[in-house]
Amino acid sequence: MKLVSRESEEPPSRGDAIPTNFTHSVNIISPLGAGTVVPPAPISALPPIPSAPRFPISPRSKEFARAFFPDVSTVEWNDWRWQFRHRIRTMAELERIFVLSDEEREAISRHKGALPVGITPYYAGLMSRYDANEPLRRTHIPVGTEYVQTPGEADDPLSEDHDAAVPGLVHRYPDRVLFLVTGTCSTYCRYCTRSRMVGQPGGEYSFSKSQWERALQYIEAHTEIRDVLLSGGDPLTLADEPLEYLLKRLRAIKHIEFLRIGTKVPVVLPMRVSRNLTRVLKKLHPLWMSIHFTHPSELTREVSESTARLADAGIPLGSQTVLLKGINDDVDVMKSLYHGLLMRRVKPYYLYQCDPITGSSHFRTPIEKGLEIIEGLRGHTTGYAVPHYVVDAPGGGGKIPLVPDYLVGRDGEDVMLRNFEGNTYRYKDSAGNVGSDRQPKVRKGKA
């Protein structure tokens, strides 16, 4: 790699692998008006980038790029469109980088339909070449269990399709909606709740401009909606122009107070957080962002830069993490992740019990594991580092928070409570009744 790194911000060209067929996803809705195609500017016609700041490349990424993409310049490496076009998707591309296990090879060759394999070169560089059990690799390279359906699993366990008011718009809670704006992601997580619909252009689910318009009309007509969460797929795989168009349309609706974007892009494609993107986003406040993190090994210099740019643009950042067996189901791993996030100005927000999508048994932990992690954090570290642990109720019941049980029982007017060290304390609660159904067993402490 050449060592001059400059962020490239030209608009996507027609040669990009990002589909320009809008029936699937992205790129060509014009802010100028419905149906207008934004012509790609030839690179030579673009003004020079005045003072585009350097995007850092960690030593690990440099080494990986030298080994597997030796002809790539740092400008290309730091161009999110180059990363997107060069995602690792086929058996041959995977085998060029990874020493695949027999099980991985067989699972990859069996795969058909939605949730394809897709890994950005940047993110592949964080994975182990040799160890099929390395956490990030396990989340992105399929194994045979993905094809085994166990009891309680379903393709759409949260009944999102049932709760769709119009295609692509889930209206489950009274005052807010989930707007699925694209089926494209920069990487495909094997435990994805929307595995039925992502990464399959021309499949059962379509993401089109007319679908956007129907969703916008629905939101305009429903004045009780004050909060819109953009998700997908990953909204930040949209180019700046259609993303700005969509966000501006939403911002123009008077009763919409609050916009949110759910994304994994700042983690797996951090160079997508360009100066132009943050310029667009900061005009649309209040805008919040939930970023999907999995493991502390994602906390690279590049991710420090992407989160710093977003935070500097005034966007409050929260994380969402799926609890995954053998990947992050450990108090120390989670503590390290959450401490790293706080250092990057990201508040650990949700820890999700893994949804029972078809073929997810190898990822799901018992509920006790999630409670054990929360108990291992609460009181043992900064309160800001403790997320809400939730189960998204199958059948569309919404998020149900779970907390370890700190209520010991009741002794007359006193509620008996257990602290993080296991000591029991009394709280005078004369008017209350909480805990009266429990016989307190006082072990030690100030009771």
- List residues with catalytic annotation: 172-173, 176, 185, 189, 192, 194, 355, 392, 399
Which lies closer to ligand SF4 via its Cβ, residue 38 or residue 126?
A: 126
The answer to whether residue 364 forms part of the interface with ligand SF4 (CB under 6 A) is: no
- Tell me the one-letter amino acid at 83: Q
The answer to whether residue 233 forms part of the interface with ligand SF4 (CB under 6 A) is: yes
- By three-state DSSP, how is residue 351 classified? strand
* Residue 7 backbone class (left: φ over 0; alpha: ψ -120 to 50; beta: rest): beta
CB of 234 to ligand SF4, least distance (A): 5
The answer to whether residue 18 forms part of the interface with ligand SF4 (CB under 6 A) is: no
CA distance 181 to 167: 10
Sign of the four-CA dihedral 126, 128, 134, 139: positive
Which lies closer to ligand SF4 via its Cβ, residue 181 or residue 334?
A: 181
The answer to whether residue 81 forms part of the interface with ligand SF4 (CB under 6 A) is: no
Which lies closer to ligand SF4 via its Cβ, residue 120 or residue 424?
A: 120
Q: How many residues touch ligand SF4 (CB under 6 A)?
A: 11
Strands 388-393 and 398-401: antiparallel
The answer to whether residue 198 forms part of the interface with ligand SF4 (CB under 6 A) is: yes
Cβ(6)–Cβ(218) under 8 Å?
no
Out of 188, 205, 338, 352, the residue judged to bind ligand SF4 by CB under 6 A:
188
Which lies closer to ligand SF4 via its Cβ, residue 137 or residue 194?
A: 194
Q: What are the distances in angstroms from CA 411 to CA 408, 430, 444?
A: 10, 11, 15
CA distance 258 to 182: 20
Which lies closer to ligand SF4 via its Cβ, residue 234 or residue 375?
A: 234
The answer to whether residue 192 forms part of the interface with ligand SF4 (CB under 6 A) is: yes
Which lies closer to ligand SF4 via its Cβ, residue 75 or residue 136?
A: 136
CB of 197 to ligand SF4, least distance (A): 9
Written as one string, the DSSP assignment of 125-184 is TTS-SS-TTSHHHHHHS--GGGG---TT-BSSTT-TTTTEEETTEE--STTEEEEE--S-
CB of 247 to ligand SF4, least distance (A): 19
Stretch in the footprint of ligand SF4 (CB under 6 A) among 33-41, 186-194, 209-217, 398-406: 186-194
CB of 198 to ligand SF4, least distance (A): 5
The answer to whether residue 189 forms part of the interface with ligand SF4 (CB under 6 A) is: yes
Tokens of 156: 């759409």
First to last CA, the chain: 65
Which lies closer to ligand SF4 via its Cβ, residue 141 or residue 189?
A: 189
Sign of the four-CA dihedral 314, 251, 168, 27: negative
CA distance 122 to 269: 7
CA distance 11 to 80: 11
Residues 275-314 that bind ligand SF4 (CB under 6 A): 292
CA distance 338 to 351: 11
Element at 282 (helix H, strand E): helix 275-282
Helices 240-251, 209-221: inter-axial angle, 10-degree rounding: 20
The answer to whether residue 392 forms part of the interface with ligand SF4 (CB under 6 A) is: no
Stretch in the footprint of ligand SF4 (CB under 6 A) among 54-62, 83-91, 227-235, 272-280: 227-235
Stretch in the footprint of ligand SF4 (CB under 6 A) among 101-109, 230-238, 382-390, 406-414: 230-238
The answer to whether residue 264 forms part of the interface with ligand SF4 (CB under 6 A) is: yes
CB of 232 to ligand SF4, least distance (A): 6
Out of 194, 272, 295, 418, the residue judged to bind ligand SF4 by CB under 6 A:
194
Q: Which residues bind ligand SF4 (CB under 6 A)?
A: 185, 188-189, 192, 194, 198, 232-234, 264, 292
